Chains A and B, each alone.
Chain A
């Protein structure tokens, strides 16, 4: 799966989870840039990513993610 299509699907997921259609994803975007991205919403985000991409992350992987770029790298390594 190439990065463009991962970004496209992730954008849909972000719009859905944060209920904000204006979010534009770049690799640098992190929790402090998005309204409502707290530790609980982070879990919901990860659960949705797992469901959409049909992959599963480990607890430590989920804790280590710093920004969108790292999330995309992680998805790419699995999907």
Chain B
């Protein structure tokens, strides 16, 4: 057994695979070939394809296509052109295509000027050089510590200070050359220190060690760039995030002068892309938050103020608190916060007003949209309310179906993928870098307040088109079964927990549910829903009891709000009607019993075609539907109906 295990595939995939982006489609190559043949503009199609978490090979192929389109003079709107010269002491041939494709992700049609290897000073300082002649918009100095004269001056503070000044002088001379020869903006990288130390921990404090010299160089470089109006790309910070031992791949440096491990090319290129986007003023300005299971753990409408998780000392609560803290810090920085939640407005506001652990307050939220509309409609309303473009928006939601809907209907909105575990929500949002900026001014701090003062509650009557088409694309399967012993525990839980989509809010114990299950006169229904994102599990429960001859009373009808807006209730009614007909039932009778939490379903029966037959002072309403001729809406889903024969046989 060798002492050294071969080191394969141990990088953090959040960063190497850009996991906040959707996974690349299986048919990436086919999509690439089809570019320019669709109904959309070529630029838009490129933007869409670049928005997946592509690997180096995919980025390279996409870049080839972009370069071809540009050289053939094809218009690439809405991508805006940007010419970037890259000066490096390392091999960047593999990185250049990744830069082009990653910039497209940020709405930039990037042309890279790439002079031969290791010609940094010649290119910057010679007036007629290849780079200066090409009139770039910006010059990226992609140089690492190996390009610097970092001879040791151990323990000699004066010599070390002189060395740092010498290095800064060299970098300033490069900037001066570019400024006077072509006037381009300069992007300087901080220097990731090598892994190997001389003393160990002492390297940080002894003057003249590589680590201490680079600390000083990075700090002074940052100050210089801030004062000159140029741009800093903090590669040292990036390498720190990933781990220096991961970042520096000595084998690849030795073989081909790769400046860092090849696994990080997509990430590095994405960072350059977001930096250019920030230079062009394309950074995002608004963070739209979902509430249930994003800002807090649990569902406020069902779990109540005491049940949701935000407390310190609770692992899940801490994870959601971290999301709140990040949102609040972003707001302090000038990012506008908004809320889009499927909830009753009043209920959604309660934690903000009453929960002692909530960091976010209503005052921090510029636009608060809690209603039962689809989220694309709400986000459009938020954009209108703030008078900002959809391309300024970031939408954070734990629910993959909501994310998919918004991504499909409003592709301009950035929607990060999120991992299963909320512990990583905040980190994933930060890694995506939506709010990257290249400058900071005191006015930025006031911006969030400015938008907030102008924002009023938006009215949300307009529905975004295309929801039906999206639903069809979800590939849903709905499964109907009568109550059974296997699922009884979950049925009891739903009956006792559901508050919002619950017509009568009748609570039953386990023995009572068992009784209904075994009673041949009682019709029971448990409903499951699966879609292309996974299995939602049991999402609806219905109990019908015999009333007079030929009529069923709908004793219980409840549904999980997670599947709202998918016409599940219509499909459930169709199933009930089918069994009613088979049992010789000619009339269904329903009742809506208002509670503090179920205003959502006040119109449930009218939407399903029932006729109101009574309304009481308490708000309680009674409804009827004749089975004959009833034809509720249908929704695009596969229907599976199992287990009813068994119960039918016990009746016989």
CB neighbors of B among A33-63 (8 A): 39-40, 43-44, 47-48, 50-51, 54-56, 59, 62
Nearest-CB distance from A36 to chain B (Å)?
Answer: 11
CB neighbors of A among B157-205 (8 A): none
Q: Are A54 and B9 in contact (CB under 8 A)?
A: yes
Q: Are A39 and B9 in contact (CB under 8 A)?
A: no
For the complex of A and B, the 9 pairs showing the least CB-CB separation, nearest first, are: A56-B6, A43-B256, A16-B57, A47-B262, A40-B93, A43-B255, A59-B251, A54-B8, A56-B8
- Say which residue of A17, A43, A54 sits within 8 Å of B57 (CB atoms): A17
Given the known inter-chain contacts A16-B57, A17-B57, A19-B61, please indicate yes or no for A43 contacting B252, CB distance below 8 A. Answer: yes
Q: Which residues of A contact B252 (CB under 8 A)?
A: 43, 47
CB neighbors of B among A4-33 (8 A): 16-17, 19
Given the known inter-chain contacts A48-B57, A54-B8, please indicate yes or no for A59 contacting B256, CB distance below 8 A. Answer: no
Q: Which residues of A contact B94 (CB under 8 A)?
A: 40, 44
Q: Are A50 and B8 in contact (CB under 8 A)?
A: yes
- Say which residue of A16, A19, A44 sits within 8 Å of B64 (CB atoms): A19
CB neighbors of A among B49-107 (8 A): 57, 60-61, 64, 91, 93-94
Given the known inter-chain contacts A55-B6, A56-B6, A56-B7, please indicate yes or no for A40 contacting B64, CB distance below 8 A. Answer: no
List A residues at the B interface (Cβ < 8 Å). 16-17, 19, 39-40, 43-44, 47-48, 50-51, 54-56, 59, 62
B227 at the interface (CB under 8 A from A): no
Nearest-CB distance from B247 to chain A (Å)?
Answer: 16
What would 10 A/B residue contacts be, using CB atoms closer than 8 Å?
Answer: A17-B57, A43-B252, A43-B256, A44-B94, A54-B8, A55-B6, A56-B6, A56-B8, A59-B255, A62-B255
Q: Which residues of B contact A39 (CB under 8 A)?
A: 256
Q: Once the chains are docked, how many angstroms separate the CA of A59 from the CA of B258? A: 14
Nearest-CB distance from A4 to chain B (Å)?
Answer: 24
Closest to B254 in A: A59
Q: Once the chains are docked, how many angstroms separate the CA of A59 from the CA of B91? A: 17
Q: Once the chains are docked, how many angstroms separate the CA of A40 from the CA of B256? A: 7
Nearest-CB distance from A43 to chain B (Å)?
Answer: 5
Q: Which residues of B contact A16 (CB under 8 A)?
A: 57
Nearest-CB distance from B116 to chain A (Å)?
Answer: 13
Closest to B93 in A: A40
Interface string of B1-19 (1 = CB under 8 A from A): 0000011110000000000
List B residues at the A interface (Cβ < 8 Å). 6-9, 57, 60-61, 64, 91, 93-94, 251-252, 254-256, 258, 262
Q: Once the chains are docked, how many angstroms separate the CA of A68 from the CA of B251? A: 22
Q: Once the chains are docked, how many angstroms separate the CA of A17 from the CA of B61? A: 10
Q: Once the chains are docked, how many angstroms separate the CA of A56 from the CA of B5? A: 10
Q: Which residues of A contact B64 (CB under 8 A)?
A: 19
Main secondary structure of the interface of A (DSSP, over half): helix
Main secondary structure of the interface of B (DSSP, over half): helix
Q: Once the chains are docked, how many angstroms separate the CA of A51 from the CA of B256? A: 18
Q: Once the chains are docked, how many angstroms separate the CA of A54 from the CA of B6? A: 10
Nearest-CB distance from B58 to chain A (Å)?
Answer: 9
Q: Which residues of B contact A54 (CB under 8 A)?
A: 8-9
Most buried by B among A43, A51, A55, A59: A43
Closest to B252 in A: A43
Q: Which residues of A contact B61 (CB under 8 A)?
A: 19
| Given A19-B60, A55-B8: 13 more A-B contacts, CB < 8 Å | A17-B57, A19-B61, A39-B256, A40-B93, A43-B256, A44-B94, A44-B262, A47-B252, A47-B262, A54-B8, A56-B7, A59-B254, A62-B255
- Say which residue of A17, A40, A50 sits within 8 Å of B91 (CB atoms): A40
Q: Once the chains are docked, how many angstroms separate the CA of A44 from the CA of B9? A: 16
Q: Which residues of A contact B255 (CB under 8 A)?
A: 43, 59, 62
Q: Once the chains are docked, how many angstroms separate the CA of A57 from the CA of B382? A: 54
Q: Once the chains are docked, how many angstroms separate the CA of A51 from the CA of B8? A: 8
Nearest-CB distance from B649 to chain A (Å)?
Answer: 53
Q: Which residues of A contact B6 (CB under 8 A)?
A: 55-56
Q: Once the chains are docked, how many angstroms separate the CA of A41 from the CA of B93? A: 10
Q: Which residues of A contact B91 (CB under 8 A)?
A: 40
Nearest-CB distance from B571 to chain A (Å)?
Answer: 43
Q: Once the chains are docked, how many angstroms separate the CA of A51 from the CA of B6? A: 12
Q: Which residues of B contact A48 (CB under 8 A)?
A: 57
Q: Once the chains are docked, how many angstroms separate the CA of A48 from the CA of B57? A: 9
Q: Which residues of B contact A43 (CB under 8 A)?
A: 252, 255-256, 258
Q: Are A51 and B9 in contact (CB under 8 A)?
A: yes
Closest to B261 in A: A47
Q: Which residues of B contact A55 (CB under 8 A)?
A: 6, 8
Nearest-CB distance from B407 to chain A (Å)?
Answer: 27
Q: Once the chains are docked, how many angstroms separate the CA of A50 from the CA of B6? A: 11
Closest to A53 in B: B8
Q: Which residues of B contact A50 (CB under 8 A)?
A: 8
Closest to B64 in A: A19
Q: Which residues of B contact A19 (CB under 8 A)?
A: 60-61, 64
Nearest-CB distance from B285 to chain A (Å)?
Answer: 38
Q: Which residues of A contact B60 (CB under 8 A)?
A: 19
